[in-house]
Every structure is written in C-alpha cells, then in structure tokens.
Amino acid sequence: MKYKELKQEEERYVMATYGRFPIALDHGEGARLWDVEGKSYIDMTSGIGVNSLGYGNKELIAAVKDQMEKLMHVSNLYTTAPMVQVAKSLVLFSGLQGGKVFFANSGAEANEGAIKLARKYSYDKYGEGRSKIITLKNSFHGRTVTTLKATGQDKFHQYFFPFTEGFDYAEAGNLEDVKAKADDTACAVMMELIQGEGGVLPLDKEFVKAVEAFCREKDLLLIIDEVQTGIGRTGSLFCFQQYGIRPDVVTMAKGLGGGLPIGAVLAASNCCDVLTPGTHATTFGGSPTVCAAAGVVLSKVNNPVFLEKVKSKGEYIRQKLLAMNSPAILGVRGMGLMVGVIVEDGKHSEYVSRLNEKGVLALTAGKNAVRLLPPLTITIEEIDEALAVMREVFGEGGKAV
Ligand SMILES: Cc1ncc(COP(=O)(O)O)c(C=O)c1O
C-alpha cells in the first residue's frame, strides 16, 4: 500500500494521538530507512533514541530469533538466563556494585517503578508523610498519570485530573530552589542530566554534584532518568558516569532493547531490596526475547572503543554544524550523539519538515531545538550525507535558504 492509502486507513482506524510526519516507513539498513514509495532517508532519530545499533543488525536479529525459537516469553513467576544476564551486566557496567534491577517495558514504567521505590524506601524508614518527589522544571518523565505529574511542564498537567499528588518542581541549575522545595515531606529528587524533550539542555555539573551532596545529607534518593541519555547515547554507558556522581536509582529504556520494548530500574545497594514480592510487578518485563536483544546491545555498547566513537562522531557533527556558519543555527548543544541544533523559537518544526523532504529524518525538542539522535552505529559517510542536506536546509555562510 502506498502512503496515501495507508494514511486514509490510519485516519479511519488509529487514534490520532500523534502529529505524524507524512511518511510511511517500510524497511531499513544501518542508519538508512526507506519509505513505502522507495524514497530513502538518513535516520537522525533512531526511533527517538531506540535503534541504538541501527537497522538490520545481524547479531541482534540472530540473538532474538534464536531466543524466540527457544523460548519467547514466560511470566515473572520463573527465572530465565537472558533476564539474569542483563541485570548482572547493568549492575557491573554501571559501577553500582551490590545494586539490583527491576525490568519494565518502557521509560514511563521504569520511572513509575522508581517513584514507587523512593516512596516505599522512605515509608519503610520514616513512616508516612515523606513522599514528595522533586523534579526539575522543563523535565520530561513519561505519559502515565503519575509520570505526567512528575514532568515539570504545565502543558502536561491538563485534562486527566486528578493527577498523582506529591511532586514539586525546582529550577534546573538552582540549588537553593531544590533545597527550598525539598522540605521534610520530600523523599527523592528525580532528574534527567540532559533534558531531552525539554530542548537538549545539559545540566550544569556543579549543580548536579551539589544536588547529590544535598540528597545524601537529607537521605533523599537521587533518581537519574537515563531513559534518553542512557545506553551509550552520550558517549558513556550512562550519562551519570560523565557527571562523576553515584545515583541511588537509574531508570532506562529506549536504546537498551535496540528496537524491542524494555525499561529498567537499576537501584544501588542502599535501596535495591525495597520492592518486595507483591509490591511491584509486570507481566512482560524482562522477557527472555527482549533481554536477548538487550544482552547484544550491552555487549556492543559497553566497549571503550565503541563509546569513544560515539563521542567523536557527536563532536564531528557539532563542529561541522558550527562550521556551516549558518545564520539559522543559533547554537549547538548536547553530548555524544544527542545533539540539539538551536534555531529561532518556534521554527524547529519547519526545519525538520524541510530536512524530511530532502531525505534526513530529525526530531524537534523544546521550543527551538532540532534534535538529532542517530543510531550509535551511524558511519561517517552517513553523517556526511545528512550534513550535506543540513547545509542546504539551514543555509551556509550567511545565506539562509
Ligand atoms: C527522559 C525521558 N523519560 C521518560 C520517557 C518516557 O519513555 P517512554 O516513552 O518509553 O514511556 C522519555 C521519552 O521520551 C524520556 O525522554
């Protein structure tokens, strides 16, 4: 079916919850995608940070196929080797020795798990009344009724009343504001180290370290939402490793399954036994099939040479974008292969549409960022192809096109 027919059927049968681009994708290889009309694109989105090893990765596919033939799913009433192996790798590779993992199916679910963990940690130790979680203004933590409320943006706090109570929002970079909001009723601080959906905004290192010290002093759990920044995206397995902090809880999803749905809550040794039988569960979390995929992703990504390449490719993109000297590009932000190209407020969607038309898929973030989250395996040739299109779209050397 061609795009037009597919779109008609979509409009008839699929809820219109997404502002989709006018493209129907069909297949992919490496960092390249083809639509149903046969047009090809360089993918600078990787399914919003999911397809970490690109499309058609032979090893990933073989591992998933083998596992599906052997055993596709069992409930969490039984143990499976792929699930245990991924948990072990996450604990060992993160440096949170003595920690443990809970598997979920998405980023929002991982954050829900972390929120429950933080509240129960506090309840077990201090009893009722200490349940507030401080998040940051402009953050994004998911779309469930609780994680919408955890998200520090008013536009997400509409329609679905009543939301879960017990969240307050501090200004990013403002330690005094965090301290003021984290009164005696608080049990945790939760933040992204680079606000992704909010506009590719990295937090200041000194601020993050100061929040960590404050959390230790007050026995607040420090939850780092690495749903978008984790699994090699910023050039280290987890972004917190470049910030030099030791979180109590790390949440992840997106890139971990390389394209299959998975989420995880990684808790350090001080709080990893808080969630006990009957207090948290999921039917699909940690299935052997998605864990087989995650095992391959972790074995590829947690490699210093691979991670160094993520950093250098990100740096290459940033330098080339700045060297365009385009009047449309007001700045470039981010770390590793999480890049935000800053344009005039409100113009980001227009640029993304033009990039799409010319064969480069890109995302928007916040009010003025064109966000690039290519597969971590993207080659320099694929990057150069995408940059040539960006040069046309953003305009070079003072000539906006
Ligand atoms: C930082 C962050 N947390 C949570 C989520 C929610 O993840 P999911 O869409 O898998 O529920 C996202 C998704 O974009 C995210 O970027």
Per-residue pLDDT tens over the stretch 79-95: 999 999 999 999 999 99
Q: Please work out, in degrees rounded to the nearest 5, the angle formed at the alpha carbon of residue 277 by the alpha carbons of 276 and 281.
A: 100
Any idea what the CATH number is for the domain that residue 323 is in? 3.90.1150.10
Give the per-residue pLDDT at 396.
Answer: 83
Instruction: Find the residues whose C-beta lies inside 6 A of ligand 1.
Output: 106-108, 111, 140-142, 192, 196-197, 225, 227-228, 253
* Residue 271, domain member (yes or no): yes
Q: What is the structure's pLDDT at 276?
A: 98
Question: Please, which pLDDT band fits residue 397 given cuts at 50, 70 and 90?
Answer: confident
Distance between Cα 323 and ligand 1 center (Å): 32
DSSP string, 29-54: EBTEEEETTS-EEEESSHHHHT-TT-
Nearest-CA residue for ligand 1 atom 3 is 141
Instruction: State which ligand 1 atom lies nearest to the alpha carbon of 228.
Output: 16
Residue 265 alpha carbon to ligand 1 centre in Å: 13
Q: Which two tokens stand for residue 354?
A: 């033009």
SS3 at position 340: strand
Tell me, in angstroms, the distance from the centre of ligand 1 to residue 126's CA: 30
Q: Are residues 291 and 310 in the same domain?
A: no
User: Is 66 a member of any domain?
Assistant: no
Rounded distance between C-alpha atoms, residue 335 and residue 353, angstroms: 24
- Asked whether residue 79 is assigned to any structural domain, the reply reads yes
Domain containing residue 285: CATH number: 3.40.640.10
Instruction: Count CB neighbours of 185 within 10 A.
Output: 12
- Cα 110 to ligand 1 centroid, rounded to whole Å: 9
Count up the domains in the chain and report the number: 2
Please report whether residue 63 resides in a domain: no
As a whole number of angstroms, the distance between CA 98 and CA 92 comes to 9
Q: Are residues 215 and 309 in the same domain?
A: no
Best residue for ligand 1 mutational test, from 51, 115, 140 (most atoms within 8 Å of Cβ): 140
Is 337 domain-assigned? Answer: yes
Q: Which residues contact 291 (CB under 8 A, 6 or more apart)?
A: 80, 82, 83, 85, 86, 103, 262
User: Which residue's alpha carbon is nearest to atom 9 within ligand 1?
Assistant: 107
pLDDT in tens, 163-175: 999 999 999 999 9
- pLDDT at residue 400 in the model: 46
**Arithmetic mean of pLDDT, 29-48:** 98
Give the position, in ligand 1's atom list, of the atom nearest the Cα of 48: 14
One domain, residues 80 and 132 = yes
Res 188 pLDDT > 70: yes
48 plus 188 within the same structural domain: no
pLDDT value of position 401: 43
Does pTM top 0.95 for this prediction?
Answer: yes
Cα angle at 159 between 157 and 163, to 5 degrees?
A: 55
Per cent of the chain over pLDDT 70 is 99
CA 19 – ligand 1 centroid, Å? 17
Specify whether 47 is located in the same domain as 169.
no
What does each C-alpha distance from 347 to 78, 95, 98, 359, 393 come to in angstroms?
A: 51, 41, 47, 19, 12
> What is the number of the ligand 1 atom nearest to the C-alpha of 196?
16
Kindly report the protein residue whose alpha carbon is nearest to atom 8 of ligand 1.
Answer: 107
Q: Quote the mean pLDDT of the chain.
A: 97
Same domain, 127 and 203: yes
Whether residues 376 and 232 share a domain: the answer is no
Report pLDDT for 234. Answer: 98
Same domain, 38 and 98: no
Q: What is the pLDDT of residue 398?
A: 57
What separation in Å is there between the alpha carbon of 206 and the centre of ligand 1? 25
Report residue 336's pLDDT band, with 50, 70 and 90 as the boundaries. Answer: very high
% of the chain beyond a pLDDT of 90: 98
Q: Are residues 9 and 113 in the same domain?
A: no
CA 49 to ligand 1 center in whole angstroms: 10
